[in-house]
Amino acid sequence: MQVESAYVQAKEMYAQWGVDTDAAMAAIRRIPISIHCWQGDDVHGFESGATGAGGGTAVTGSYPGRARTPEELRDDIDMALKQIPGKHKLALHASYAETSGKQVERDSLRPEYFNNWIGWAKESGIGLDFNPTFFSHPRCEDSFTLASADPSTQSFWIEHGKRCREISAHIGKEIGRVCIDNFWMPDGYKDIPADTVAPRQRMIKALDEIFAAPFPKEHTLDALESKLFGLGLESYTVASHEFSLLYASSRNKLYTMDAGHFHPTEVISAKISAIMQFCDQMLLHVSRGVRWDSDHVVLFTDELQDIMQQIVSGGYEKRVHIATDYFDGSINRVAAWVIGTRSVLMALLKALLQPVHKLCALETEGDYTSRLALMEAFKQYPFAAVWDYYCLQESAPVREDWLSKIKRYEKEVLLKRG
């Protein structure tokens, strides 16, 4: 009863400013978050001989209970989803193919290797997104894939990209929800290159070849992700922000912004409304960098709230696809999913509870004093009461009640994995 009574009071307070809390909860139910599968196994995947992240990525920590099989990973994801309100999506990497023990190279992947994931998603009532895996492979040891000067290496990765688009289209068709296929390539140099032009020309040509075949937009959408730098790639990244943004805009692809892929003094909340003037849709990877692209667990930070505020105030809820992307092996991996995804949803709900029209009207009138005063005042409004009620309505744990369930799962399941 405390949750319900607190909600009634909060509803009345928000209503004074024309904010409908019921409508805000209805809106957030229509916005799925694409939750990344790789948090549960430290980006190992299920390829034969897989050893984990590489190619400019790294996972730290050795907390017990890492998923070792597809079944264990799906069990962990199921456990996490029970603690998160709403119905969402799961993002897969190509390296999570299930090949029944056969050695299958990435340029030979086929849709049937993801049938178990498709069946599980259908049963769970969630969607799937996809990512080619251009890292953690012998053929990218020099940190070049699509921009490689070696024709054989480049052809291998071009074929991988083509196969991944076919897989993504198959997933979207089978599930009946669009599957976003996100391309991120680590190509670059550790030290200062003599030629920054040729690698980008090679990557453009390779991407054009990969994207040449058309697929129904209701089945799959292509996205291109930028990055400032990676481990061992500190001086030059081929698919930089400018490269990826302009390629996506010129080819009618989604541009992917990752919150950790920019300079530490940059914030992506400042970029969203500018990019959305020129791109029909965008993919957002919510992460948390600490001094670099360290992919820390997402928290309810000011920047996360600003990101969601930009999406809502711009009316981009249907055009910006929100996904999570982080990995921490130093804490309970299932808890990391829950903490991060609930934080994203909290920030989104808080944004939906802002009196955007009133603030915009004050701005148009030139009453910047009232605008600033109300922005500050609404930071103190009882958004948490609405969040608690939303969780209750979605049969998800309220506040920190989920933690005891995860700790019990850890004791009964995770710690027994050795």
User: Which active-site residues does the annotation give?
Assistant: 184, 225, 227, 258, 261, 285, 293, 295, 325
User: Could you write out the DSSP letters of every residue in 45-58?
Assistant: -SSTT-----SS--
285, two tokens: 């990877």
Q: How many beta carbons lie within 10 A of that of residue 36, not counting itself?
A: 26
- How far apart CA 353 and CA 394 sit, in angstroms, is 18
Residues 76, 63, 88: CA angle, nearest 5 degrees: 30
36's enclosing H/E stretch is: strand 33-36
C-alpha to C-alpha distances, 214 to 160, 183, 327, nearest whole angstrom: 16, 16, 33
Is the Cα torsion angle 284, 286, 292, 293 positive or negative in sign? negative
Is residue 290 within 8 Å of residue 260, measured between CB atoms?
no
CA 396, chain centre distance (Å): 21
Q: What are the beta bridge partners of residue 233? A: 230
- How far apart CA 287 and CA 307 sit, in angstroms, is 11
- How far apart CA 21 and CA 44 sit, in angstroms, is 42
Phi/psi for 145 (5° steps) reads -125, -90
